Amino acid sequence: MRQVVRHMVVLCSLLLALVSMSTFEAHAASRPVPVTASDKYALKLAGAGGFYVSAEVDNTGGTEGMLRARTSVASPEELGSWEKFTLHTDDKGVTLTLRSEANGNYVTTERNYTGTHQNLLRARGTTVGEWEKLRLEKQSDGTYALRAMTNDGYRYVTAEMNDAGGDKGLLRARSDTIGSWQKFELVYLAEENASDEGPRPAPVLPAQETSFRVMSWNVCANHNGKCSNHRVEGDDLGAQIVNRMGDRVREYRAVFLQELCEAHAKPIELELEAVTGTGWDVRFAPVKFDVDGSTVKAARTCDNAGSAETGWKDRGSYGIALAVPDSNVWYTSYDLPSPENRTVGNKWQRIEQRTGPCAVLPGRALQFCTAHFSAGVAEDDPDGEYRRQQAAKLQEIVHGYTPAGYRTVYGGDFNAVPTNSASPDNPKDVMTSAYQADTECDENLWAERPFDGRATKPIPTDDGTYRYIKIDYLFAPSNATVLTCGVLTDTGRSDHYPIQGHFRLPAQ
């Protein structure tokens, strides 16, 4: 397997190390958000020399991984893994949690310490709990104050710049007021968040005729307790996916996966490699939430695997993934237009910010992209306004951002029925532009409804039966031939059916 040094997204299920977030000022919306398990950030003390915060992972004992403002560099590009963090949330943005790139651990407030180390911040948490949660408060100068819950209530995180020796600059939650020692910048590490090899490479041309298979499946393996995959671990999920691909697994060039966890990526990759005898990469992109009191977003954490009785196991961020052969040398992810947090009825709703990753195989002149659009519920996108925008953005990515010569296959869970679906569900115009520009795996199944296909999701009804709708898709270029298209009418441990397409693309 090709090893990606700085930007590897497929993370070991035992150590989830690389994760990060967004600058204290949002970067331009037109800039692709790289596919790491969230974007990398550094934490910089606003006053007292402007030191960057390090996780002292070489310490031992009770100060191992302690956070200390002590690093001075001319440019953020000079920072090492000790100074790099990612932002996470397990409560949809009410609070955030820092995770250290140096050791993969979550930053914890040591509430039971005493003396000068009381409420010390250390990168030592293996799951997210109350001790790992921080609240952000944006200041008028653009910096942030961080509040942590201690045994005595909320306290502001302070860099102890007057302490001596190895304690100088240590971070602990102990102040009731905000001064220069309590103000921090969240510095977006632009270079660390670039895709593998810079700009999307040009395809090798002329492109040859080729045929291959693609599958898309919403595996329902994150927060939905109604799915049997709710707390599944990576090896189990990888086996399920390969089983769904069947005896033609070696003919696949892409697998689109929705509603899975960061820790699933590496085991899925290894399972694909084991059954195909070739290398694979699994690119993971997190779903994010706006963090209260800030202009940043945090990657939502998956529910843990395991149980209270057997012990909880962290599964990292929640999101979507794109599995491709390891001849892939470039990938990125694009922010999709998504609803803002708002009041629905009399309740404040925190809403998922959606993403769309793409990867390319230059030698085959192939690009693959996937997405999971907003849901058509009152708490998300009830009238389809944002799903229409998401569909338009995906078309822009596929047909506007992509260099000439690439042939793009894309798909996923688009949470909208086809243009002339027989279902009573609305809206029916979300996918209109895609059908007009490209070829869907299951279109022309029925002459009277050419832009329709077999159901991919069973929905339980009040009377104990099910109704069935198509909301999962596979699209190929308009000149592609659909050799076969199949929907496996068994959800397995998910709540979606997988959709599988076998496409032939002409030479060009």
pLDDT at 34: 38
pLDDT at 195: 62
Which tokens in the block code for residue 399?
A: 């047909």
CATH of domain 41-191: 2.80.10.50
pLDDT at 48: 78
pLDDT at 47: 83
3-state secondary structure 142-211: CCEEEEEEECCEEEEEEEECCCCHHHCCEEEEEECCCCHHHCEEEEECCHHHCCCCCCCCCCCCCCCCEE
211-505 is a CATH 3.60.10.10 domain: yes
pTM across the whole model: 0.91
> Could you state, in chain order, the average pLDDT of each consecutive group of 10 residues for the chain (508 residues)?
37 35 30 54 91 97 97 94 95 96 95 97 96 97 97 96 95 97 93 67 95 98 95 97 97 98 95 97 94 94 94 94 93 94 96 95 96 97 98 96 94 97 95 98 95 96 94 98 97 97 96
Which tokens in the block code for residue 8?
A: 């590897």
Three-state DSSP state, 342: strand
pLDDT at 193: 67
Which tokens in the block code for residue 195?
A: 């895709």
Own/partner pairs, 155-159, CB within 8 angstroms, 24+ separation: 155/119, 156/182, 157/121, 157/182, 157/184, 158/182, 159/45, 159/48, 159/51, 159/53, 159/68, 159/69
The answer to whether 354 and 336 have CB atoms below 8 angstroms apart is yes
Strands 472-477 and 407-413: antiparallel
In whole angstroms, what is the distance from residue 453 CA to residue 480 CA?
A: 17
In whole angstroms, what is the distance from residue 267 CA to residue 273 CA?
A: 10
| Domain assignments of the chain as residue spans, ordered by start | 41-191, 211-505
pLDDT at 8: 36
Total residue count of the chain as it appears in this document: 508
pLDDT at 200: 86
Three-state DSSP state, 134: strand
User: Residues 117-150: pLDDT tens digits?
Assistant: 999 999 999 999 999 999 999 999 999 999 999 9
The answer to whether 97 and 85 have CB atoms below 8 angstroms apart is no
